Chain A
Amino acid sequence: MTPPVRSIAVVPDVPALRPEFASIVDPVPELRAAVAAAVASADRVVRLNGSARRTHASPGPFDERAVAFDEHLLAALRGPDIEALHGVDRDLARELWADVEALGELAELLAGHQWTVQVEYDDAPYGVAWWVITYADAVR
């Protein structure tokens, strides 16, 4: 029998975090620390991120809808608002270069439980919305 999931970490799947792309000076030290801490104590890790079209310095061409999309998504994650997570517009996410394929899995994991939510990281230093969010079962 699969043990119950009592802690979840949401982290971005950022290639710069991988050992094969290590630099002499880490371009993402705060994110790396936050991801490492969150993943270390999580029963399950879900990888997703917001838009990569937030600014003119983003990897994708600027889209004025991106920031609002990210704010809406973060609010749903922070809730967590299961219905809102299921309702995220996947087509818009694709247009905005947001990686939300795991949202369905996350919504399933979160459904039916009370969670203590901590947003450990919320920034977009290179124009991509990255979040590190931990969920701990509130009745644990």
Chain B
Amino acid sequence: MLKLGHRVYEDERPLVMAIVNRTPDSFYDKGATYAEDAAMDRIAQVIEEGADLVDIGGVKAGYGAFVSAEEEIARVGAFVGRVRAAHPDLVISVDTWRCEVARVVLAEGADVLNDAWGGHDPALVDAAAEFDAAIVCTHTGGLGPRTDPHRPAYDDVMAAAIADTTAYAERAIAAGVRKESVIIDPAHDFGKTTFHSLEITRRLGEMTALGYPVLVSLSNKDFVGETLGRAAGERLAGTLAATAVCALAGARIYRVHQVPETRDVVDMVWSIAGRRPPYKAIRGLS
């Protein structure tokens, strides 16, 4: 069972999490949904396209202008409340590492805290527990928020990702977060070289075997771009290839920019793996 805030999933179907950035400077959309109404339109669109949940972010992951907690709250706090009012059944995730932001968005109706920075704020788990929310426990190799890796080195990157994410998960559970609300994420690109991200993709089955639902955030990332020699707007095919590999390994949640393409790839792989029936099969069966 998976519980994401108010929503319980009894089955094992994969979930598509659509990225909605309330930032002026994110690497892929470059501020396209910074304006509140544009972000609302994006949410309506991704729901229509088949997204299961949205991930709202108020701070660009990479380097950029400093964004205070107050500014982050101004970007995402009341906005989450507006989304909740407009879409009462929607599962809302918020991408933040800050406890003070988390408390505001949870009070506004968020279901999931997506902590891309690996538990940098140790009190984040307490906020998740207090509001009976889900939490995404990522691996960054100790990297602080909004910093790029410089010569990261691991004896075994997947072993490190498993050790750190499961330790974070256990800390969350100890703080009172339900086990069925704890998700782990190897965090492609975060604290990793492209070689590391390729390896955790290749070995993702070791992480899904742990029993925690695994989230993968692959969408248009640098490891795709560096692998194929593609700029940010040219990485869809590479992203979908990595998505397919992760789906075959059993990743449960896919954080993406392009919802319909991801939905098709994940559903196709899920069916190849024998976990999902075809949509409507009659060929050779009439």
Question: Are the C-beta atoms of A24 and B280 separated by less than 8 Å?
Answer: yes
Contact with B along A121-134 (1 / 0, CB 8 A): 00000111000000
A15 within 8 A of B: yes
Question: Are the C-beta atoms of A23 and B286 separated by less than 8 Å?
Answer: no
Cα of A66 to Cα of B277 in the assembled complex, Å: 33
Contact with B along A14-35 (1 / 0, CB 8 A): 1110000111111110000000
| Chain B at the A interface: SS class | loop
Cα of A21 to Cα of B280 in the assembled complex, Å: 10
Beyond the given pairs A15-B286, A16-B282, A24-B279, 19 more chain A to chain B contacts, judged by CB atoms under 8 angstroms and listed by A's residue number, are A14-B285, A14-B286, A16-B281, A16-B285, A16-B286, A21-B285, A22-B277, A23-B277, A23-B278, A23-B279, A23-B281, A24-B277, A24-B278, A25-B279, A25-B280, A27-B281, A27-B282, A27-B285, A128-B286
Residues in A whose Cβ lies below 8 Å from that of B280: 23-27
B211 within 8 A of A: no
Residues in A whose Cβ lies below 8 Å from that of B284: 15, 59
Q: Considering the complex, which residues of chain A in the window 86-130 have a beta carbon less than 8 Å from any beta carbon of chain B? A: 126-128
Cα of A25 to Cα of B281 in the assembled complex, Å: 8
Cα of A24 to Cα of B276 in the assembled complex, Å: 8
Cα of A25 to Cα of B277 in the assembled complex, Å: 9
Report B281 CB to chain A, min CB distance, Å. 5
A11 within 8 A of B: no
Question: Are the C-beta atoms of B285 and A15 separated by less than 8 Å?
Answer: yes
Cα of A15 to Cα of B276 in the assembled complex, Å: 19
Cα of A116 to Cα of B236 in the assembled complex, Å: 62
Cα of A127 to Cα of B281 in the assembled complex, Å: 15
| Count of residues in B whose CB is under 8 Å from the partner chain | 10
> Can you report 19 residue pairs joining A to B where beta carbons are below 8 Å apart?
A15-B284, A15-B285, A15-B286, A16-B281, A16-B282, A16-B285, A16-B286, A21-B285, A23-B277, A23-B280, A23-B281, A24-B278, A24-B279, A27-B280, A27-B281, A27-B282, A126-B282, A126-B286, A128-B286
Report B26 CB to chain A, min CB distance, Å. 35
List A residues at the B interface (Cβ < 8 Å): 14-16, 21-28, 52, 59, 126-128
Cα of A16 to Cα of B278 in the assembled complex, Å: 12
Report B286 CB to chain A, min CB distance, Å. 4
Report A139 CB to chain B, min CB distance, Å. 37
Residues in B whose Cβ lies below 8 Å from that of A21: 281, 285
Report A49 CB to chain B, min CB distance, Å. 9
The residue in A15, A22, A27 that gathers the most chain B C-beta atoms within 10 A of its C-beta is A27
Closest to B279 in A: A24
Report B229 CB to chain A, min CB distance, Å. 38
Cα of A128 to Cα of B281 in the assembled complex, Å: 16
Closest to A16 in B: B285
Contact with A along B261-286 (1 / 0, CB 8 A): 00000000000000011111110111
Closest to B282 in A: A27
Report A28 CB to chain B, min CB distance, Å. 7
Report A62 CB to chain B, min CB distance, Å. 15
Closest to A27 in B: B282
Report A83 CB to chain B, min CB distance, Å. 30
Cα of A73 to Cα of B115 in the assembled complex, Å: 68
Report A31 CB to chain B, min CB distance, Å. 10
Report B138 CB to chain A, min CB distance, Å. 32
Report A101 CB to chain B, min CB distance, Å. 18
Cα of A14 to Cα of B286 in the assembled complex, Å: 6
Report B278 CB to chain A, min CB distance, Å. 5
Cα of A59 to Cα of B276 in the assembled complex, Å: 26
Closest to B278 in A: A23
Cα of A90 to Cα of B286 in the assembled complex, Å: 21
Residues in B whose Cβ lies below 8 Å from that of A24: 276-280
Closest to A127 in B: B286
